[in-house]
Chain A
Amino acid sequence: MRWFRWVAFGWLACQAGVALAQSVSFKDPTGDDDGPGTYVYPTDAVYAPGSFDLTGFSVEVKGSDAVFTVEFRTRIGDPWDSKSWSPPGNGFSLQFVQVYIDQDHKSGSGFRDALPGINARFRPESAWEKVVLISPQGRQRLESEVATKAGPLKTGVVIPKSVRVQGRSLVATVPLKDLGGAPAGWGYGVLVQSNEGYPSAKDLLTRKVNEIAGAHRFGGGSDWDCDPHVIDLLVAPGKGGADEVKTQHEALKYQCDPANPEGSPLVEIPMIYP
C-alpha cells in the first residue's frame, strides 16, 4: 500500500502545482481612481469615496470554474437595491468591471477595441479573445445589451454564472468551458467603470465621463468621446506600488483634437501578464 500513498501524494502535488500555476494575483495602488489623473466622481452622494478604486485582482481555478475576485478600497454597497430590479441584480449597484483576457499573447490576434462606452483600444500585442463582464445587472439584461451594442465583439463576451459581493470584493465565477480552457500565461486588462442602468444608445451599460461632473456623470474628462471612460486600471507590475499610479495616468492620457475631436485617436491600453 506504500506505493499507493506515494502515487496519491504525487498526484496531489501535481494538482496543487497546476492550480498554483493557473492562479494569478495582482495588487493595485489606492487613490488612483482618477483615470488619467484628472477624473472625479459624480456628485451624487451614492458614489462613496473609493467605490471605484481597484486595490486587487485575482483569478483562481476551482474545479471546472475560474473564480475572478476584484477588490476595492471601500465596502461594496447596494444603494439602488439591485435585487428589486427586473431582472434581479447581483447585490450591488455602482461598480462595473470588465476583465479583458489575452489568451494567446500574439500581436494582432483577437480584438483590439474595448466594448462600446469605454472609448479605448488595447495595444496590438494585447489584443483580447475574451472579456468577462462583472456587472450588477442580471444575465438577461447583459445578454440583451451585448446582443444590441457589442457588434462583432459579442463573440468574445463571457457572462459569469454567478457574481456576488464579499465585503470589499466582487467574486465572479465563470465556467472554464466559457473561457475556452484553463488560464495559462494569459494577460489581463482589468478596467473599472460604473454601472449605468440608463446608458446612452451606444454605450454598453457604462457611465460617461464629461468635462464637468454631474450628479451621475464623472467629471474631469471631455464632453467628446475621445477620453477613455476608465476610472481605474490594473497596470504592470501589479504590486500596488506608487509607480503604478504614474503608469496608469500615462496609459490613459488622451488627446482631443479641438478641430476634429471625434476623429481623435483612442488611447491604447496595456495588459498585465503574470
Chain B
Amino acid sequence: MLSYALRRIVVFVPTLFITLTLIFVLTRMLPGSPVASLLGGQSVNAAKIEEVSRQFGFDRPILEQYLEWLPRILSGSLGQSLFFTKPVTEVLIQRLPVTLSLTVLALMVTIAVGIPLGILSAVKRGSFLDYLGNVLSSLGMALPPFWLGFVLILLVAVGLKLLPSSGYRPLEMGFWPWLSRMILPTIALSLSQIGLIVRMTRSTMLEVLDTEYVGMARAKGMPETVVIVRHALRNAMVQIITAVGLLFALGLGGSVIIEQVFALPGLGELITTAAIRRDYATLEGGILYLTLMALLVNLLVDLAYAYFNPRVRLA
C-alpha cells in the first residue's frame, strides 16, 4: 500500500508541473501590462516603468521568467496582493475556510443523499423510488446552480424568511450563525452533484449486481442485505469513489459561481474579482490553491481506490 501511495505521488508530479505551467502561461497572457497595474495607473515616466520592469524581471525573456517563477511558487512564496496590499498567502488563508466550508458541506450532502439513493434505485429497479431518483437527478443536472441559488433565496430567505439570504459568519462566531448561512449555498451547489452521483451509483450497482460473484453470493444463501452491502456495494465503491473525486473538482469550480450568488467571501469570489481587478499575484495564488485542493483530493481518491481494490493494492 505504501509503495502504491508513493507511486501515485510520483505520477502526480507531471500533472502538477503541467498545471503550474498552465497557470503561468494564462496569467502572462492577461491583457494589459503588469507594470502599469503594479503602479496602479499613476502617470509615470518611461524610466520609472523600466525600473519597475527590471525590479520584477518583466524585461527578461519569458522562459527565464518562468524558470525563476516556478521554484518561487513551489517554495510557497506567492508575492504581494496589489489590491489588499498584503501578502497573497495571508489573503488566501483568510478566504480558505469559506470555500472549504461550502465544498466540503456540499460533498457531504452529495454523498449522504446521492449514494444511498443511487443504491436504492438500483436495488429497487423500476420502483417509485427509482423513478423519483431519476426525476431528481435529471432535474438536478439541468438546473443551473447559480439560478437555483437565487430561487432558494427568493423562496426561503425572502419569501419564508427562514434563513439569511447571504453573507458568511466564521465558525468561531457560533455553529448556527455559520451553518444557517451555508445551508442554501450547499443545497444550490450539491443538487447537480447529487444528480450525477445518483446516476453513476445506480448504473455501477446494476452492473455489479449482474456479476457472477453476486449471483454466487445469492447461491450461497447470503441474506439480501449482505449480498447488496458486502458483495455488491464493496465492489461498486471502487467506481463510486472515482466519481466522488471528479465531483469534488466540479464542486470547486461550481463554488466559484455560488460564492458570487450568496456573497460568500471565498476563494472563488476572490479569483473572479482578482481577474476583473487584474490583481495577478492574487489570481495566481487563488487558482493555485484551488488546483492544489483538486490535486490533493484526486490523490486521496487514488488511495481510497486502492483500498477498495485489492488487485491494485497488492499489485
Q: Do A and B come from one complex?
A: no
